[in-house]
Amino acid sequence: MSRLNEDGREALNSSAYAILGLLAMGAQSAYELTRQMERTLRFFWPRAASKLYEAPKLLASLGLARATHESVGRRPRTRYQISPRGEEALQRWLGTRTIAPIELESEALLRVWFGRFGTIEDLRNAIQNVQAQAQANLRWGTSIAQEYLVEGVPPERGHISALTFRFLWDFNVMLEAWATWGQRELSGWGDVEPTAERMDRAAAILREALAERLSTPPSERSPG
């Protein structure tokens, strides 16, 4: 992570830049990093809390952030602040054009995929699990959106936050819609056996998916 790249500059990974970005957004302490993680970042860049205490130390050691050791009563506290060199490094990173692809990991979908080896109840439960998570996330999103609508969007970040919000919102709406659809598909099933009728329906599902895409011009493909 702190090896040099060809330029003789530090080769940080995206997680380090994520921390640098949070410092640029005004996070002051490692604990504040953990709060940002809990509030927002975990939905698209989940990282272990313990690492959020390590990462800024590296940035400070490279001169990309300044660390100030204070104390509150008898307890130590380290305050971090992004440095001018850190801001440049962040900008340079944002200017690069190689971006790791989106990754999705879902144990629930894994269980659906293996649904044939369990019971119909197991299969329904896996789908139900996705639905519950989506609904919980949508409630969370609703509370954040309402907070912003009442108190005003963050003046420096609202325009950007809205883009990210819409992504996560759409994702969870999609999850819930898929789960609802899936439960409906399974509504007549008493088992998970592969019957001829179910194979026909499977083919129909594939055809519908392809047809929807052909029939919807890109200009109409937008949230809402």
Partner DNA sequence: TGGGTTATAGTCCCTTTGGGAGTATTGTGT
Partner DNA sequence: ACACAATACTCCCAAAGGGACTATAACCCA
Query: Per CB under 8 A, which of residues 47..86 are in contact with a copy of itself?
Result: none
Separation between Cα atoms, residue 39 and residue 100, nearest integer Å:
23
50 binds, among a copy of itself, DNA, none (CB under 5 to 8 A by kind): DNA
1 binds, among DNA, a copy of itself, none (CB under 5 to 8 A by kind): DNA
Contact flags string 41-60 toward DNA, x per CB under 7 A = -----xxxxxx-x-------
Contact set for DNA, span 145-164 (CB under 7 A): none
Q: Does 120 bind a copy of itself (CB under 8 A)?
A: no
Instruction: Give the nearest distance from C-beta 30 to a copy of itself in angstroms.
Output: 19
List C-alpha distances in Å: 139 to 26, 90, 108.
Answer: 27, 33, 20
> Smallest Cα–Cα separation from 123: which of 133, 112, 132?
112
Separation between Cα atoms, residue 87 and residue 125, nearest integer Å:
47
3-state secondary structure of 208: helix
Q: Does 223 bind DNA (CB under 7 A)?
A: no
Q: Does 101 bind DNA (CB under 7 A)?
A: no
Q: Does 31 bind DNA (CB under 7 A)?
A: yes
Of 31-39, 146-154, 182-190, 196-204, the window that binds DNA (rule: CB under 7 A) is: 31-39
Tokens matching residue 88: 């440049």
Half-sphere exposure of 120 (CA within 13 A, CB side): 12
Nearer to DNA, 7 or 105 (CB): 105
Contacts of residue 37, Cβ cutoff 8 Å, sequence gap at least 6: 46, 47, 49, 52
- The neighbour count for residue 58, using CB atoms within 10 Å, is 16
Q: Does 205 bind a copy of itself (CB under 8 A)?
A: yes
Contact set for a copy of itself, span 124-163 (CB under 8 A): 125-127, 129-130, 133, 138, 141-142, 145-146, 148-149, 152-153, 155-163
Asked if 30 contacts 78 with a C-beta cutoff of 8 angstroms, the reply is yes
Query: Given the rule CB under 7 A, which residues bind DNA?
Result: 1, 3, 13, 15, 29-32, 35, 46-51, 53, 72-78
